Structure 1
Amino acid sequence: MLRIAVQSKGRLYEETMFLLEEAGIKLNKAKRTLLLSAKDFPVEVLFLRDDDIPQSVANGVADVGIVGENEYVEKKQNAQLIKRLGFSKCRLSLAIPKDEDYRGLCWFQGKTIATSYPSILRTFLEKNAIKADLHVISGSVEIAPGIGLADAIFDIVSSGSTLISNQLKEVEVVMQSEALLIAGNKLTEDKKAILDELIFRFNAIQAAAGKKYILLNAPKDKLDEITEVLPGMKSPTVTPLAEEGWCSIQSVIEEKRFWEVIGKLKSLGAEGILVIPIEKMIL
């Protein structure tokens, strides 16, 4: 049995639960408890505060964990980074009152900065030869300047709306963050095998993200041009049709290029274009 530590609430919790469900891990959750087992896969999920996950994995309370990169870097625990998961993206940034005239990092010289991430901030300030006082706060960092506790803050930023509502502006991005899969250093061979299967499933989900499966009919004399538009994973699948001079083509396209590709296909004579979502993709 592999024990996975995950955040107990918030956006990272919700996106982690979605990932596990997509990976076929259905939890026995008749009622919410600290520890839940899966129905058809040898894992159990331990719900913790996000800042407790790195230590719990490092000391063996959990075998692996899904945690924000910000907490992983801040806590500096002896746990391996196994995989970047690509969701719950945010950044750690310095922000100051919106009416301040900001002309560079020298603004922070001698200032007081409120933060929940003193280790990351201290490293950044030392690297840039900035001497500032750190005021460590466990939550609601953004209110510190408004109530006179600090001159600036260093905190997580996603959309920036929280900064705006507190009359702050983001002036320096210190690091980017996303969800990580981390593991302890003493996994048994059985647990490593379960983790390998879990990573295989996560990879299949990630490979399908942002991609569409496309089927279309096209004139054979345009096949080479259409193939250039639809490179797919290796090359499009081409099948002759009963109608002379026509073929059916199947491929995978990036969703971000969807309308660009569709426009080119139509101009090359493609017809009957069918687009299908992809849930998993085994490479």
Structure 2
Amino acid sequence: MSKLKIAIQKKGRLHEDSIKLLSSCGISIDNGKDQLKVNISNFPLEILYLRNSDIPKYLEDGTVDIAIIGENVLIEQEPNITIVQRLGFSKCRVSLAVPKDVDFDSLNYFNDKEIATSYPNTLSKFLEENNIRAKIHKISGSVEIAPNIGLADGILDIVSTGSTLFKNGLKEVKQIMKSEAVLAKSNLLSLEKEELLDRFLFRLKAVLKAKNSKYILMNIENSKIEAITKILPVLKSPTILPLTEEGWSSLHSVIDENEFWEVIDELKIAGAEDILIVPINKMVN
């Protein structure tokens, strides 16, 4: 029987989140130290731990079938692959930064300057689109040090919190794109592996949907049920159970985490009491 080969980052910011996501999908991972290929016993899956920058090529030539990878890496390398699911973690931005004491007022600052980056293709396109003439220094890592050692006047790099820039005496001046972890697939999958991918995606989407939703319970007077159900976003319709106290019911539903506080305030105003919010482990439609 075929196995779906998935590549994840061998180490770094995506590694731990990728392992947690697979575990949430019921994938039992048991690998020894420094083991770079792991067969999964409870799902037709094989995990390959690879360097982040190598993953797009492995996807493109079909060596691996799917991968969890940063969107920014795919934009930089432009492989012939397909993004099948955005994962919502490892969010960052790709930004230009300059020394803190630089008086930066526009992108024209970079004209005839030198910029260090690990994303030369992304930077080159941005500069061209904005008619900026600058020299690009390609650096594999530790890009933030370039201005401090006189190698460059600014950098283009990924930024999460900005603390690394601050520690190196830099400030963010222009965000050129946002990025997050995505699930990407090779365009060379067989029909059998496409079916395996569908099974894997079923689990993955159930986990992601649950992560972004909350189960909500509240007590309400029966006379207020209609008004409250109009406020409450629901899957189809809320569950309503009678309480032992006459004239009262318990209403159960699901809300999107992004609407959490706005919905709660409205429900309280409309008369909801004893509101409970419960995390959801899995959510299957």
Of 177, 183, 192, which aligns to 2:179? Answer: 177
2:214 is aligned with 1:212: yes
Task: Summarize deviations over 1:10-53 as a string: whole Å, max 9, x none.
Answer: 22111111110001111122444010111200001100111110
Offset of 1:208 from its aligned partner?
A: 1.3
Offset of 1:138 from its aligned partner?
A: 0.2
Equivalent-residue separation in structure 1 for 2:233 and 2:123 (angstroms): 45
Equivalent-residue separation in structure 1 for 2:261 and 2:188 (angstroms): 48
Of 79, 82, 98, which aligns to 2:81? Answer: 79
Offset of 1:269 from its aligned partner?
A: 4.1
Map 1:115-194 → 2, pairs under 5 A: 115-194=117-196
Offset of 1:260 from its aligned partner?
A: 4.5
Task: Summarize deviations over 1:126-146 as a string: whole Å, max 9, x none.
Answer: 111111111110000000000
Counterpart for residue 52 of structure 2: 50
Counterpart for residue 232 of structure 1: 234
Counterpart for residue 61 of structure 2: 59
Counterpart of 1:193, as a letter, is: E
Worse overlay, 226-235 or 19-28: 226-235
Equivalent-residue separation in structure 1 for 2:122 and 2:192 (angstroms): 35
Equivalent-residue separation in structure 2 for 1:4 and 1:95 (angstroms): 34
2:99 is aligned with 1:97: yes
Of 37, 40, 46, which aligns to 1:38? Answer: 40
Say which SS state the counterpart of residue 106 (structure 1) adopts: helix
- Identity across the alignment (%): 52
Offset of 1:267 from its aligned partner?
A: 4.4
Offset of 1:182 from its aligned partner?
A: 1.1
Of 87, 90, 111, which aligns to 1:88? Answer: 90
Counterpart of 2:98, as a letter, is: I
Task: In structure 1, list runs of 5 or more residues that go unmatched.
Answer: none
Task: Summarize deviations over 1:213-237 as a string: whole Å, max 9, x none.
Answer: 1222211011112212322222211
Equivalent-residue separation in structure 2 for 1:108 and 1:224 (angstroms): 60
TM value normalised by structure 2: 0.94
Of 237, 242, 245, which aligns to 1:243? Answer: 245
Equivalent-residue separation in structure 2 for 1:173 and 1:230 (angstroms): 36
Say which SS state the counterpart of residue 224 (structure 2) adopts: helix
Task: Summarize deviations over 1:56-75 as a string: whole Å, max 9, x none.
Answer: 11112211111101111111
Equivalent-residue separation in structure 2 for 1:28 and 1:236 (angstroms): 41
Counterpart of 2:176, as a letter, is: V
Counterpart of 1:72, as a letter, is: L
Counterpart of 1:282, as a letter, is: V
Counterpart for residue 10 of structure 2: 8
Worse overlay, 212-221 or 151-160: 212-221
Equivalent-residue separation in structure 2 for 1:183 and 1:256 (angstroms): 29
Equivalent-residue separation in structure 1 for 2:167 and 2:142 (angstroms): 13
Equivalent-residue separation in structure 1 for 2:80 and 2:257 (angstroms): 38
Counterpart of 1:119, as a letter, is: N
Counterpart of 2:90, as a letter, is: S
Offset of 1:255 from its aligned partner?
A: 3.3
Counterpart of 1:273, as a letter, is: I
Equivalent-residue separation in structure 2 for 1:259 and 1:231 (angstroms): 13
Say which SS state the counterpart of residue 253 (structure 1) adopts: strand
Offset of 1:106 from its aligned partner?
A: 0.8
Offset of 1:247 from its aligned partner?
A: 1.6
Say which SS state the counterpart of residue 10 (structure 1) adopts: coil
Equivalent-residue separation in structure 2 for 1:256 and 1:127 (angstroms): 34
Counterpart of 2:116, as a letter, is: A
Say which SS state the counterpart of residue 83 (structure 1) adopts: strand
Counterpart of 2:150, as a letter, is: G
Offset of 1:87 from its aligned partner?
A: 1.0
Worse overlay, 178-187 or 238-247: 238-247
